[in-house]
Structure 1
Amino acid sequence: MDTVYLDNAATTQMDPEVISAMHQSMRSNFGNPSSTHAFGRKAKAAVETARKSIASLLNVSSANIVFTSGGTEADNMAISCAVRDLGVTRIISSKIEHHAVLNCVEFLDTENKIDLQFVNLDQDGSVDLTHLESLLAEAPDSKTLVSLMHINNEIGNILDLKAVGELCQKYSAYFHSDTVQSVGHYEMDLADLPVDFIAVSAHKFHGPKGVGFLYVKSRNHLKPLIHGGSQERELRAGTESVHNIIGLQKAIEIAYTNLEEDSAYIKSLKNHFMDSLKSEIPGVRFNGLSGDLDKSTYTLVNVSIPLSASESDMMLFQLDLKGIACSKGSACQSGAQLGSFVLNEVYGEKLDYPGIRFSFSKFTTKKELDYVISTLKSLALSKAN
């Protein structure tokens, strides 16, 4: 077997139907959507049709969808605009958020624009909702934004969006969630969820890189972060990337059309992978709640094999040599050599063995997983001896 790709939490393989839709768009929708001639109007119509399609899948109005360059821009836009335009003076987040959120809130804190507080996590890395409520109750007169991701990108823990949103409503706080790992993989009825902002990225569900969107519950009081034009109803200047938006539309339509079938298939793969690892490698551990399908996403598992840090790093290298792609954690932190900041935060000194993240997709096969399991077993036993 030449290659096995198990880093879908970082990015997914583009669906052939998405590529076809984008190719057709590039050939026929090359006009500038802001131009008033027929070519421009055609491109504009394609963008607005995509917006309406995406909104309908999430059960919201198309007016609430703002196209961005991806999840990072959407996260930054929600957080920064909440501070600048909505008068937010306090942000409550967690220390295991994606760095698109962490770096943004820490910058605002450093600039003395907000009071930043972190909610406690339990022993598995889940948000302590009792502590969150106590933080919200501490300063009822402060305008507060709670920013907590729906699914953690490294350990897969799932946050109860409705419970958090209801707490935020109780204390008149805004609620932002990075849903990059969940939209396209889970049903999302935003009309029923008490959330003010969500961030989405197409390349996490077999769409193109470089495009995503921000859902904004109410756009009346927001101003653009990027200036220069009146695109996106004056919320984001810049010529729309029409072909990417078409790719996003196609990818999310495919994802939700086939959600039940694809999710059942991927769950079966994850179960097989975990069961095989437990039987083949003594002492294997699943980090966070990633080993519990009821409490974590079906798309990934974070595994610790009884090896030292140096041996674990060497295993990643050896897996790569054998054509197996996986990771220690977020691709956005791949240049860092400090290991997973999420696992370090959750386990601290109790982190005896580093974790390796394996993430699956509808294109993953059982044959590929069996090859990975056999390879892992061989490497683990060779290190143990």
Structure 2
Amino acid sequence: MFKFISGFSFSLCRYARDMERPQNSVARTPTDSIMAQRRSKNKSYRQSYRSCLGAASRLSHTPGWTARRLNTSRRTKSHNITEKVNPEDLALLVKTEWQLSYVTPLYQFRHTQLRSYSRQLSAFITAEKQQGLAVEVEGAQTSFRVSFSAVQGLGETDDDAETVLLQIHSKPVFAGKDEAQKLVWSGWLTCINGNPEYLHLLPKDFTCLPLFGSRGAENLTSLVKSWFQQTFDCCFGPLEINQTCLQWLAALWTNCHIESSIQHLKMIWTLPVEPPLQITYTVNSQDVWELWNSVRNPSLESREEEEAARSIDIEEVTRFMQGLKSHFYRHFRLDLSAGRLSQVSSALGSAKFSGRIKMSNSRYVLTTLTLLTECALLKMPI
């Protein structure tokens, strides 16, 4: 028996869909010779991507999205990255909500050229502003200062490219002479535990940083994406966190409860009725932990060496979610299986279907980014 009643929060409201639309990926055309070279490189990239996906993806009826699926099992453990990652960089990544996008491999991107990229992007934003594309961030701005930096110590494997952090600072027109510039936009590109087979098949001129997070004014985000597309011949697209990924995050975060209390597990479900309904379902930590233990593989519970980094498989995730939905049905006679899971949150973080993610505990940043990197690679067009 599960004592979930005290942990419930139930509300009904009108649901409004809010999904990020894909950004315009049209880039300015450079010289014909350069474009011809890049087309050749892109062809090699596409062939490498298809090779990684298998023969089935070469069929003529294959859609322009990968046919692969998320891994059916994964290991979870906490990582003390505070000793390896710059505290300032870590503070920016954690406890901030990011809007996610996927990014195709960057052509001729070099980590050794980050200082040059800072100057180029700053000049690009200034030029766009002078052409009448005003960038309004809390009022009129003077100049924008862009900084690129590599986040040391965040990678998991030698195949992963170093995470890149972007920051844009600016000062309002009427700011005092000695007033410092303020951070008005931030973003990052990363690849944590990327598919090694795919990474090895990429041509050497391409750098894979498939996961992009941004926070700040939307017009600045559009300008940053536009500059990347023109400079590195890449493409951005919205990265929704689908229901399967949300279920994985619910299980992964619950599995971390012994080391770092999740405090509660909150889920928001959307039911397709008229008018649409949103159901908020909250379970306290002890109850959800007991349910999680009940669906775990018994052979793992008796092996102490598995506690630090034990494997979770999709069958356990499915049983865990089914247990939550069954309990809800017994009390309210509402079948959540008919709806869609659109948000998951706990003390360790929150994730929304619209592609917004917040990581609240640095020890589980790598676990979360590994799953999201996998999602980005799968969403990438062939």
* Same fold at TM > 0.5: no
TM-score of the aligned structures, taking structure 1 as reference length: 0.23
Q: Which has the higher contact order (CA 8 A, sep 6+)?
A: 2
* Rg larger for: 2
Could you state the TM-score of these two structures normalised by the residue count of structure 2?
0.23
